[in-house]
A = this chain, B = another copy of it.
């Protein structure tokens, strides 16, 4: 029943990018940040639903596969679901497609009231406004004894980290300097005191760091 956070961040600590434009709704930085993750066989199969077995199979893929293992429920901020993209469209079902990669109940933190969405592949999206500990209790209640992931974005993840609710934090540090965005590490001085640390370097240059309670 561990609570887990997994994020991709840049070497200078940015986990959310801010270079989005109407022409490039994801921005360019995001693609560079997650490129090694997107290149993995796990991501291509699980998120893109590719069936050709293509993709990298090294250290990055090991972490990508672990990302999806043992999760019974997920919590995310409104931005990660995609609520900010079409805030006025009640029919918008998020940017994860009709078969999102989660496969579990997902709790989306938002002040907007919306009906629960049932997607293909076992994913549901329930929208609620709640404190971290309260939404976590709800997620754990439906996780069937498995772990709960706080998926993101960075502001949501940091909120749970600051509240001391996270048992395992994994970051994949892409060795690029973005110089702009939202920092994961702000206001978390001394976080390491509650954890042991594991470090591993991937063939891609990505540095994988895990804090475990």
Interface residues of A (CB under 8 A from B): 11-13, 173, 175-180, 183, 185-192, 197-202, 205-207, 209, 211
Contacts and interface: CB of A to CB of B under 8 A. Distances in A.
A187 B12 CA distance: 10
* Copy count, this protein chain: 2
Contacts of A11: 13, 185, 192, 209
B173 A207 contact: yes
A59 B97 CA distance: 44
A12 B11 CA distance: 9
Contacts of A206: 199
Contacts of A179: 185-190
The 8 residue pairs across chains A and B that have the minimum distance between CB atoms: A179-B189, A12-B185, A199-B201, A197-B205, A207-B207, A175-B197, A201-B201, A199-B205
Contacts of A186: 12, 179
Among the interface residues A183, A188, A189, A198, which one has the most CB atoms of the partner chain B within 10 A? Answer: A189
